[in-house]
Chain A
Amino acid sequence: MSIEISNVTKTFDSFQALKDINLTINTGELVALLGPSGSGKTTLLRIIAGLETPDQGNIIFDGEDNTEKSAQDRKVGFVFQHYALFKHMTVFENIAFGLKVRPSKHRPSKEAIQQKVQELLSLVKMEELAKRYPAQLSGGQRQRIALARALAVEPRVLLLDEPFGALDAKVRKDLRRWLRKLHDEYPITSVFVTHDQEEALDVADRIVILNQGKIEQIGTPEEVYDNPVNPFVYHFLGNFNLFHGRVHNGKVELGSLKLDVPEHAGTKNKEIVSFFRPHDIDISLEAGGRDDIEAEILFIRAVGPIVNLELKRLENGDYIEAEISKEVYRKLDLKEKQKVYVKPRDFKVFIPEDYVI
């Protein structure tokens, strides 16, 4: 089922949580709402579920306006951040709840409910734990039960609020993969909220980046990561290095470093900020040309396949972070306090008066 969010605005007291949000989520998509806390992402999710009413705007499911419908009638599956399992019910009863509370003429038979719950328990791989109470489960298990409970009512949409937020790193990663796999097997339209860019990039088909109640960018993980539309998105989607400089007639000057930026060919003498990712940096021991930046290695962390370097730009003391492969690191035989030449392979230039970060 597709979800269309049109012109949605929401204010809490004096705080404007959402400002004129427009977004279409296609049938079968897995979309991440990504943003820092207070960006309005959870509010948007709750408005889609009917747990919150928008001040203005409409929520349309498959062309049908659902704005006035209550949460009870929307047939959405909602997985809460802290699971919200029913404490006084067993795992089985939790999953069966949505089917048991149906009006008698729509309620499946006892056997049918039993079968459905068993099916879901095996889907989340927790058949043995049917008789346990939520208090007796680990965080990851609770999360899976919350998901099974939401799926039991065969929802048209699955909404997940920070689904892995309260779990430790290892379990997070496993569950993340598992959710992706589940979605590939059961392609139900799903929206999840997260503040973790890695999670969004890893799981989602498309990412919606929210900031201060507004959508900054919508796109596939590749699109938003490779072509962030503004400094905020660049900033939010991973580690970065930032240089201040000037742009004039298609050339960026970052101190002595001069780079070509054809997209700013018409810009005359403006201040800019330039971003580049730590993994988009080439390091060499000898000066290759005028594009190189002279830097000193301050610190090396060589754990795992990627080596993190912290460098200081000698010209002005700017701090540079770099990620290089272990092979390159070994080949260059880098040491702390060593002088090297650094060259950004790929970078983005933004004119800051257009944006505020």
Chain B
Amino acid sequence: MAGSTHGRIIQDNQKKLNHSSGRNSSKAVEILLIGAVLFVFIIILIIPLISVFLKAFEQGAGVYIASITDRIALKAVRLTLITMGFAVVINTAFGLTVAWAVAKFKFKGKNLLVTFIDLPFAISPVVAGLIFVLLFSTTHGVTAPLLNAWGIKIIFAPPGIILATIFVTLPFVARELIPLMEAQGTAEEEAALTLGASGWKTFWFITLPNIKWALLYGVVLTVARAAGEFGAVSVVSGHIRGLTNTLPLHVEILYNEYKFSAAFAVASLLTIIAILNLVIKNISEWKINKQENT
């Protein structure tokens, strides 16, 4: 939610600027500031974005389509989608549970819990990846004897990638829901209970409609991070082509092999996911604001 309040502050500031634009000096400041913002915006965001697509299509649509329909590329797409799926489902369930517990019950250590939920954001993704290697490596991991005995492979295999991704995306849904559910309190749920609704029906008909846009926002952020996560995944993946490569890792490999067009073609897929995410994120932000104002 920090992002959206930040946005509102900027909007307010713009209103103030517009307000005082009657005077010439402030008009100049306005032009200067907006100009500076646009300049940075174009250099940092627009040009790189366009160049991704230009580079991707540099050798024609044929190469582009060949690059993204390549067997190994498709495997990477598949693994990325599976990872995203796991991250979204598990983090939604986790986020809802944590937010429900924090917002609706009183218990000791609540503040500590809320603080620790942010741990994955504070920690470097590389360290996050290494934690899982330390835990689950079949050669030197803490659980190595067990894993070897049962023949389970986590590190250098999809389960490791999924675990690392879940770890780095863990806070997104919870962080969106906790403040909202705390603010909404329990009165509506209690009203539903006294009207004879079961716990499940209360959740489905009362709680969920009240939090759905914030939940979607959290899910979008989770998807974006899950699709693009590089550091933690890189550590646990082992870079086995067609087996443990997600899209970002595949892009890196292609790039290191000087297959620039192919690299950018695959990168453009990630970019498209990002843009779609942005659109959904804005819709849900708009809906959250609307909900808050009624």
Contact = CB atoms under 8 A, between A and B. Distances in A.
Interface of A: 49-51, 70-78, 80, 82, 84-88, 97-98, 101-102, 133, 135, 149-150, 152-153
A135 B194 CA distance: 22
Contacts of B209: 88
B294 interface: yes
Contacts of B190: 51, 71, 78, 80, 84
Contacts of B194: 49-51, 71-72, 74, 76-78, 150
Contacts, number: 67
Interface hub of A76, A101, A150 (most chain B Cβ within 10 A): A101
B192 to A, nearest CB: 7
B193 A72 contact: yes
A97 B205 contact: yes
Query: In the complex, which range does the number of interface residues on chain B fall in?
Result: 10 to 19
B87 to A, nearest CB: 28
B210 A88 contact: yes
B195 interface: yes
Contacts of A153: 195-196
Nearest to A81: B187
Nearest to A82: B187
Interface in B188-214: 188, 190-199, 201, 205-206, 209-210
Contacts of A135: 294
A101 B196 contact: yes
A97 B187 contact: no
Given A72-B196, A153-B195, 8 more contacts: A71-B190, A85-B188, A86-B188, A87-B188, A87-B294, A88-B210, A101-B201, A149-B191
A153 B190 CA distance: 15
Contact of B195 (A50, A70, A133, A149): A149
30 contacts: A51-B194, A70-B193, A71-B194, A72-B193, A72-B197, A72-B198, A76-B194, A77-B194, A78-B190, A80-B191, A82-B187, A84-B187, A84-B188, A84-B190, A84-B191, A85-B188, A85-B191, A86-B192, A87-B210, A97-B195, A97-B197, A101-B195, A101-B196, A101-B198, A101-B201, A102-B196, A133-B294, A149-B191, A150-B194, A153-B196
Given A87-B188, A87-B294, A101-B198, A71 B210 contact: no
Contacts of A85: 188, 191
B60 to A, nearest CB: 51
Contacts of A102: 196
Nearest to A133: B294
The 8 closest A-B pairs by CB, nearest first: A98-B195, A84-B187, A78-B194, A101-B197, A84-B191, A135-B294, A71-B193, A88-B209
A78 B198 CA distance: 16
A6 to B, nearest CB: 22
